[in-house]
Chains A and B, each alone.
Chain A
Amino acid sequence: MPDKILKELTLKIWRQKNAKAKGGFETYKIRDISGGTSFLEMLDILNEQLVSENKEPVAFDHDCREGICGMCSLFINGRAHGPDDEVTTCQLHLRRFKDGETITIEPRSSGAFPVIKDLIVDRKAFEKIQQAGGYVSVTTGGVPDGNAIPVPSEKAEEAMDAAACIGCGACVATCKNSSAMLFVAAKVSQLALLPQGKIEAARRARAMVAKMDELGFGNCTNTGACESECPKKISIEHIARLNREYLKAKLQE
């Protein structure tokens, strides 16, 4: 069955020249577009249109377009990654929208994720948190044998669930407090659950939380909005673990 054709879509897009400029919404029309078009392809088509009219194209983040890199962002109709659950913006298609609909597209802004241009926000804050402790130090030696360090399968599964985080920032964007707790919880959990990561668990929890706070993310108030919008369905159970790890680490100080 061929995809249906949407006759007209109205796009309300946030335009902002640079980090310092004051932004505002511009309205664009897209006509006769297939429902099978992905959301990012639609923005590509819009940009071709804008270029042909000698206008500045809309800047937006994208990379793999396969839902695994975490690069695409966007706040579409009030939701991070748009109306679908458990998918990233690049996996969203126009068949999810009605003909004639107005789609509001905003950058996922927060104090810690300032807008660079149009729909692109600076997510380096996540890198800084990772650099503060989101790793296992290996200073020497080769890779150990796969079965040399026993890991219970349920722990391995849980660690893998946490490791599914692609660092897209949907949690921060969705949280009414702009809290990065789900991201930090996923990164702390995936290592704290495994024997290799346990060694540095206390230092890691302290350093990553301190960095998160320093960068101006808000405080978690347990609303659970983050997990409902996370494209990888990371659970706030990991936030409970982060709280536990951090409190334990602080008591050890």
Chain B
Amino acid sequence: MNSFITSSIGKKAIMSVSGFFLVSFLCVHLTANLMIVVDSSGEIFNEVCHFMATNPVVRVIEPVLALGFLLHIALASWITLQNRAARPVKYARSNQAGNASWVSRNMYILGALILVFLLLHLWNFWWKIKFAGDPLLEEIEVNGVLVENTYALVSGLFKTSVVYCGLYILGGVLLGLHLAHGFGAAFQSIGLSNRVWRKRWAFLGTLFAVIVAGGFSIIPIYFLLGLGG
């Protein structure tokens, strides 16, 4: 079984499964985030955040999620290095653009940009919520329970900085582009594709990419338009 991890198909299968895991996280994250737009008082969002911060299952999954990210990044780096080494003499002229989409050829670069965004995002919110704290997070009472005012932290960032709004929209778009190829490719890599399903995955991948890019971008746009509480 050890030859599985070093084999090209094994590596891609692990990329695929870790990718699916990250996709499932994105679905939960996006659903929680959209509560910001659903309820301008911020009560629902604060309740969701409180649940996520206190639920034991979520607490257990959090480090697993971090491992999922690390695995996905480490394997991507390994694959990319091997692939670069596989052609020592580069072509003088190459029609890569005519053969395959830009996104499919630049997944590693997109992934790296998403990682930069992720670190910024963790510093903006996760770090403050978990460790550093922030005056905006002062606890408020929602339905008789004291919860951290995460909504105030989010709205505080987006209402005061157009630059951050732009960066978060960009982050959403980068994620969408990564998924536009990654979603269908993940099914292909574990062999779950054929003549019929190939087109379906391509369609669902594009749809999912648009939902993720649009869904995450809605939040900064919402505050840019002055709709947030």
Residues of A in contact with B (beta carbons under 8 Å apart): 12, 14, 23, 25, 75, 77-79, 104, 106, 109-112, 115, 174, 176-179, 181, 209-210, 212-213, 216-225, 228-229, 235-237, 239-247, 250, 253
With both beta carbons as reference points, the residue of chain A lying nearest to B97 in the complex is identified as A78
B107 adjacent to chain A (CB < 8 Å) = yes
B93 adjacent to chain A (CB < 8 Å) = yes
Residues of B within 8 A of A235 (CB): 195
State whether B189 touches A243 (Cβ < 8 A): yes
State whether B12 touches A220 (Cβ < 8 A): yes
How many Å from the CB of A202 to the closest CB on chain B?
Answer: 13
A to B CB contacts below 8 Å, 9 in the list:
A112-B86, A213-B8, A217-B8, A218-B82, A224-B100, A225-B100, A240-B193, A240-B194, A243-B9
Residues of B within 8 A of A220 (CB): 8-9, 12, 189
State whether A209 touches B7 (Cβ < 8 A): yes
Residues of A within 8 A of B98 (CB): 79, 228
The A interface, classified by DSSP as helix, strand, loop or mixed, is mixed
State whether B12 touches A219 (Cβ < 8 A): yes
**In the bound complex, how far is the Cα of B193 from the Cα of A181, in angstroms?**
15
State whether B83 touches A177 (Cβ < 8 A): yes
B224 adjacent to chain A (CB < 8 Å) = no
State whether A78 touches B94 (Cβ < 8 A): yes
State whether A229 touches B87 (Cβ < 8 A): no
**Interface residue ranges of B129-172 to A (CB < 8 Å):** none
Residues of B within 8 A of A239 (CB): 188
**In the bound complex, how far is the Cα of B88 from the Cα of A112, in angstroms?**
10
